[in-house]
Amino acid sequence: MNDSPEYLEKKRFFDSVITLYGRNVAVEVLRDDAVQIHKLHLSKSNRIDETIEEILALAEMRGIEIKYHTKESLSRISKNSAQDQGVAIDVVSQNYRSASNIATDLPSSFRLLALDGINNPQNLGMIVRSAAASKIDGIVLPRRNSTKLSPLVMKASAGTLFKIPIYYCEDLSEILGIKDTAIITLSSHAKDDIHTLKIPSRAIFVLGNETEGVSDAVMRASTHSVSIPMYRGVESLNVAVTAGIVSFLP
Amino acid sequence: MNDSPEYLEKKRFFDSVITLYGRNVAVEVLRDDAVQIHKLHLSKSNRIDETIEEILALAEMRGIEIKYHTKESLSRISKNSAQDQGVAIDVVSQNYRSASNIATDLPSSFRLLALDGINNPQNLGMIVRSAAASKIDGIVLPRRNSTKLSPLVMKASAGTLFKIPIYYCEDLSEILGIKDTAIITLSSHAKDDIHTLKIPSRAIFVLGNETEGVSDAVMRASTHSVSIPMYRGVESLNVAVTAGIVSFLP
């Protein structure tokens, strides 16, 4: 393993790059001076229309490097040939970090929201928005079995995607062993009421998949399992609503 | 005004009819024995496919009256010719009631959620789901300047649309004068924190439009104005998330 300072610096940099795609998304992030941009990628096959012209003008104004690709290699960058519209853009967010930083990043007391298998991009965007608006210290987002950060997520986040730390990992198992930290799973079957839980000073709340709930592996590793009591025979809440309630717990 | 017992009986009945449309919606409500159905309306021009066959079989099994219409008159019933797919269905819900019943329906202490200009059907469906799952006693839904109960609302409500009283009115002004009842508007500009508000025993929380907030007329009539304190410069929450937080206030 290379651990020279330059290598680590570079790794830290590339770890914080999020590649988004789509013409309107490119315009949105290029317009927002608060969003740092590494590179703009365009397909050589793009027909020049008003939006592409605006993208080019904004990139030039901000001095952002533009790389041209074949349609095929652009889709390898965007990883979504169906929706990239010939445009991909590397955003650098200091808030997008590997979960291995959690223990050193955070103060002695913190609350995180970990997402276990959230597949709906609109829900993910709404969760980011609620968490960003609350005192939650960050979101843990596994790459496996989860929707990815994408233009749909960005839209539903209503401009908050880069405002809150998002700790990514391959799999939630990576964060289950953080020292002195409670793993609190939300489950409609749990007997304990979330509103009467005395929340430990270091807590990770885990929200499960919209249909299947929290996965077995996480359930086994959890230190607490709580529910939001429900009435009228309703079995579950939308996961973004649950995230909102958890984010704004006193 | 005719106020004979039969007339009032009939009026009460028709007041509680919600006309939905679309083939999958018809299958869903016909399959659910808990949903009372008044009539099924079909366009004569419908090509008989598997779904129509299932609709016909379910209606026959449940002994539901079927009326056939021209395409034009069916679209006058569905009020949505673009999406009715030649099928409309009258659902009778005892929970769908005129807001004029609020004062007599409800116990001496209650909490309602009134929606002021919610235009997104997915948000409305999620709000219904959260309110139905909570102790909220009902939702007040004006017809003016609001999305209507529709298949999209039904889908987002995840099967909860008929579980909670929905009080309809033309305009929210109709409910602003209910005796001894607090009108509590949610506003991101309000200085008082919703979490420290001592909620009066009879309370109507008013949630505003996704972009413009609560309308001026309602704002003037409100007895309390509160906000959910937000951080990181985030200006607002998704209205369905706000509704979830309000619904589950202790």
Tell whether A244 lies on the interface with B, counting CB pairs under 8 A: yes
How far away is chain B from the Cα of A165, in angstroms, using its nearest Cα? 11
List of residues 6+ apart from A6 with CB closer than 8 A? none
Contact B116, B214 (CB under 8 A): yes
Residue A5 pLDDT level (bands cut at 50, 70, 90): confident
Q: Is B241–A130 a contact, with Cβ atoms under 8 angstroms apart?
A: yes
* Residue B17, number of CB atoms within 10 A of its CB: 15
3-state helix, strand, coil in chain A (%, to 5): 35, 25, 40
pLDDT digits (tens, 9 = 90+) for A24-66: 999 999 998 888 999 999 999 999 999 999 999 999 999 999 9
CA–CA dist B120, B153 (Å, integer): 9
Domain spans, chain B: 17-92, 96-247
Which SS3 state, helix, strand or coil, does residue A182 take? strand
Strand blocks (E) in chain B: 17-21, 36-43, 65-69, 87-92, 96-98, 110-116, 138-142, 166-169, 182-186, 192-193, 202-208, 224-227
CA–CA dist A74, A37 (Å, integer): 17
List of residues 6+ apart from B21 with CB closer than 8 A? B78, B80, B83, B84, B85, B87, B88, B89, B150, B151
Supply the DSSP symbol for B164.
S
Q: Is B232–A126 a contact, with Cβ atoms under 8 angstroms apart?
A: no
Domain B17-92 has CATH 3.90.550.10: no
CATH superfamily placement of domain B96-247? SPOUT methyltransferase, trefoil knot domain (3.40.1280.10)
Contact B218, B224 (CB under 8 A): no
Q: Is A133–B234 a contact, with Cβ atoms under 8 angstroms apart?
A: yes
In this complex, the residue of B122, B132, B248 whose CB is nearest that of residue A234 is B132
* A–B interface: beta-carbon pairs under 8 A: 93
Residue A138 with chain B: CB contacts under 8 Å: none
CA–CA dist A152, B38 (Å, integer): 40
Q: Is A195–B250 a contact, with Cβ atoms under 8 angstroms apart?
A: yes
Q: Is A248–B248 a contact, with Cβ atoms under 8 angstroms apart?
A: no
Measured between CA atoms, the residue of chain A closest to residue B163 is: A232
In this complex, the residue of A126, A230, A236 whose CB is nearest that of residue B241 is A126
Strand blocks (E) in B148-242: 166-169, 182-186, 192-193, 202-208, 224-227
Which SS3 state, helix, strand or coil, does residue A30 take? helix
Q: Is the pLDDT of residue A13 over 90?
A: no
Residue at token pair 């589950």: B248
Is ipTM over 0.85? yes
CA B109 centroid distance within chain: 22
Which SS3 state, helix, strand or coil, does residue B198 take? coil
pLDDT of residue A1: 57
The helix (H) or strand (E) run that includes residue A204 is strand A202-208
Tell whether B35 lies on the interface with A, counting CB pairs under 8 A: no
Q: For each of chain B's 250 residues, which pLDDT tens digit applies?
A: 567 888 878 877 877 889 999 999 999 999 988 889 999 999 999 999 999 999 999 999 999 999 999 999 999 999 999 999 999 999 999 899 999 999 899 988 999 999 999 999 999 999 999 999 999 999 999 998 899 888 899 999 998 999 999 999 999 999 998 999 999 999 988 999 999 999 999 999 999 987 888 888 899 999 999 999 999 999 999 999 999 999 999 9
How far away is chain B from the Cα of A158, in angstroms, using its nearest Cα? 9
Measured between CA atoms, the residue of chain A closest to residue B244 is: A241
CA–CA dist A209, A207 (Å, integer): 7
In this complex, the residue of B122, B126, B237 whose CB is nearest that of residue A129 is B237
Tell whether B133 lies on the interface with A, counting CB pairs under 8 A: yes
Q: Is B234–A135 a contact, with Cβ atoms under 8 angstroms apart?
A: no
CA–CA dist B216, A240 (Å, integer): 29
List of residues 6+ apart from B162 with CB closer than 8 A? B34, B35, B91, B93, B95, B96
pLDDT of residue B1: 57
